[in-house]
Amino acid sequence: MTLETYTQTRLETATIGYPRIGKSRELKKALEAFWRGKSDAETLIQTRNEVEFKNWETQRQAGIDRIGIGDMSLYDHVLDWSIRLGIIPERFASFSGLDRYFAMARGKDGIAALEMTKWFDTNYHYLVPEIPETLQPADFSDFLQTVHRAQTLLGDRAVPIVLGPVTLLRLSRLEMNQDQAGKQLGDRYLLLLQELQKMGVAEVQIHEPALVFGDAANFKQLYQSTYQSLSQVGLPIHLVTYFDDLGDNYPWVMELPVAGISLDFTRGRNLELLQQYGFPDDKELGAGIVDARNVWKIRPDSVLSTLEAISRVTPNLRIQPSASLQFVPYDAQRETKLPEPLRSVLSFAEQKLVEITLLADWADRSYGTQEPDKYLEVILRQWQTFQEFSPVNQGVKERLQNLTSQDLERTLPYEQRQERQPVLPPFPTTTIGSFPQTSEVRQLRVKLKRGDITQAEYEAAIDAEIAKCIQFQEEAGLDVLVHGEFERTDMVEFFGQQLSGFAFTEHGWVQSYGSRCVRPPIIYGDVARTGPMTVREFKVAQSLTDKIVKGMLTGPVTMINWSFTRTDIPRSKQAMQIALALRDEVADLEAAGAKMVQIDEPALREGLPLKPERWDEYLSWAVDAFRLSAAIAKPETQIHTHMCYSEFGDIIGHIERLDADVLSIENSRSNNETLFEITDAGYKHQVGNGVYDVHSPAVPSTEQMVQQLKTGVANLPVQQIWVNPDCGLKTRGWEEVIPSLKNMVEAAKILRQEANLTEK
């Protein structure tokens, strides 16, 4: 018997969510085929159900006692619950069925999609519900059908997962009064629980991750009244929290009328709170001690001490992951090309199921066997082997130790740098960086990997794509160009592949949103640059035009937040290691003639701790890492950065401390709120006001973008305004990109004329 097959369970085990894209991304492929008109709705639904069934069967065979079900989604679980609860804005009223579902997700026929933003501090995106003054009728039929299918396979093991009413309300945009919305939603959840009870469901998980937010106390009365009402149904409720601790709210949350409460013991200080306040005797504790947000195996010493400490407070517990396993890939055993010392300490979703059952057995050793101890000893030896495989990089260590405050400072302040930087027309136009990754471009990488073409042939083909991209941008009239990033599979993976200390999987896909999947790199050792990473492609692009071409880099904080990081050293140290590598790249780009370098940090905001009292510590090192990357640039070199899905009002001081010359923002789905936050704070640097939503297939009209720009003009001096899409164009097709960018350039020209400004 091996560790991977050890599933004898004693103490009860549970899951609270599972990956939902399919082990071979079956659902992603089915979605995109449906959108292209290559398959029908029946095929799409069948694929979803097949993926869901395989997920249930995997958990059943692993010996999980309480299997969370109902978290499967065609696009986003928050969107699913919005529609089930009748939270449908008026602009989507004319649609029905899947047409309505995907119109809300992606927009359609000039109708804006729901706003998309990050799910807590993860790299998953959800669609923000808009609660109108009048709700549509609730319809839980699809969810109830899922429960019925699960009961057929799993029986009482099937535990429905329901997104909690207060969390949904907390994350929504409201047109009606909050109390009124809470009452109406509460009534609908009551009906749902009654239906589940009629089906013979033994227990329901209601997920309320908003309880870990710093402002949870503001919703205390609503939590209390809502759960008092729901408890009257008589269906046992297991209240699930994750991503952080309950903080000062711990005592009153323990008093809510529920049968069980799940806590995350891998983040925050829930163990300290548990020891301080105890745990109710009449409730079951869902002990989230297997980390659902990272890919490393448990470290026996630390996890066993945590489990022992929990058991001393309450014996009434179940062992489970810290959150849904949707944030990790399916199976580490498929990664046969990774070095064995590394692969042996990786734990994806299927391995985490094994760890859950193993820890449950270890916690209940009354049956007199030492089997769990044997397998835990195996893990210890695997970690010891890994430590020998990944030694400390002394050169990187010394560079970090020798850093001074001057290494984080540009040589001149912004106002003086601006005078030396390139002169452009008013409302200069550019893009965020990437252009469409067509099937032909993707096939080039496949052919290179298979050995069907040489490296020289591959580079020649990429150069041809760059040439076409430069030609289009010149013809479209863009002012500052990019090379298109055709050589890049992913904005983090591309750089990580050229840095030591990074490892890459073949099958390690996780969902970002909808059909968008990413393979986060694994940072397993000290990070160092092995040579120039982007200079060749930049030089090719710049040689084809007299206009400025931006050098394009991914920032250190985004690389940290979009990777599976080490757990043995602080994230701040890992970010600074990456920053040193990027600093060297900026210097090389400058030497190659780059007058502008963009260091993207779209994930800076999402890394914020969920408790505001921890923000300053995170932002201090995050901003320092960006500054270390950029500070080597000469005053004449204009440093750009891009951020998306970010609210800046509460961290604007830190945004200013980045000291980027140009900040481009996602703004098209947020009703200009991000722009207003920047202008209200008196931000003095230049701003690229994202004028259209690249996550929608709809082509924006010139008139739409003119109106968006006029909002910018009303709030910012003309000399501060840049014109750009709200994000990269990688996921769009050329048939959408070409007219969209031409309309964008035309919109900028109209603004120049209306403002009576001439090009310099």
Active-site residue list = 695
What CA–CA distance (Å, rounded) separates 625 from 641?
Answer: 13
Tally helices (H) and strands (E) across the chain: 27, 23
With contact defined as beta carbons under 8 Å apart, do 330 and 19 qualify? yes
**Cβ atoms within 10 A of the Cβ of 139, count?**
12
Rounded to whole angstroms, the Cα distance separating 262 from 159 reads 14
The binding site for 5-methyltetrahydropteroyltri-L-glutamate consists of 25-28, 118, 123, 516-517, 562, 606
Residues in binding site? 25-28, 118, 123, 432-434, 485, 516-517, 562, 600, 606, 642, 644, 666, 727
**How far apart (Å, rounded) are the C-alpha atoms in residues 350 and 346?**
11
Residue in the block written with tokens 């007058």: 595
Q: Which residues contact 149 (CB under 8 A, 6 or more apart)?
A: 49, 52, 53
CA-CA distance, 16 to 287, in Å (whole number)? 11
The separation between the first and the last C-alpha atoms of the chain, rounded to the nearest angstrom, is 75
Tell the burial category of 42 from Cβ atoms under 10 Å away from its Cβ (0-12, 13-18, 19+).
Answer: exposed
**Residue positions forming the annotated binding site for L-methionine:** 432-434, 485, 600
Residues linked to residue 285 through DSSP beta bridges, in sequence order: 261, 317
Cα–Cα distance between 535 and 550 in angstroms, integer? 11
Q: How crowded is residue 409: how many other Cβ atoms within 10 Å of its Cβ?
A: 13
Q: Do residues 533 and 492 touch, judged by C-beta distance below 8 A?
A: no
Annotated binding-site ranges for Zn(2+): 642, 644, 666, 727
Distance, in Å, from the CA atom of 55 to the CA atom of 61, rounded to the nearest integer, reads 10
3-state SS record for 434-498: ECCCCHHHHHHHHHHHHCCCCHHHHHHHHHHHHHHHHHHHHHHCCCEECCECCCCCCCCHHHHCC
Which letter does DSSP use for residue 391 in this model?
A: -
Spatial distance between the Cα atoms of 714 and 704, rounded to a whole number of angstroms: 16
The Cα-based distances of 552 to 531, 545, 597, 601 in angstroms read: 16, 17, 6, 11
In angstroms, the CA 544 to CA 541 distance is: 5
Token couple for 523: 């940072």
665 touches 688 (CB < 8 A): yes
DSSP state letter for 417 = H
Tokens representing residue 541 in the block: 């692009």
- The span from the CA of 228 to the CA of 238, in Å, is 14
Residue ranges of E strands in 612-679: 638-643, 662-665
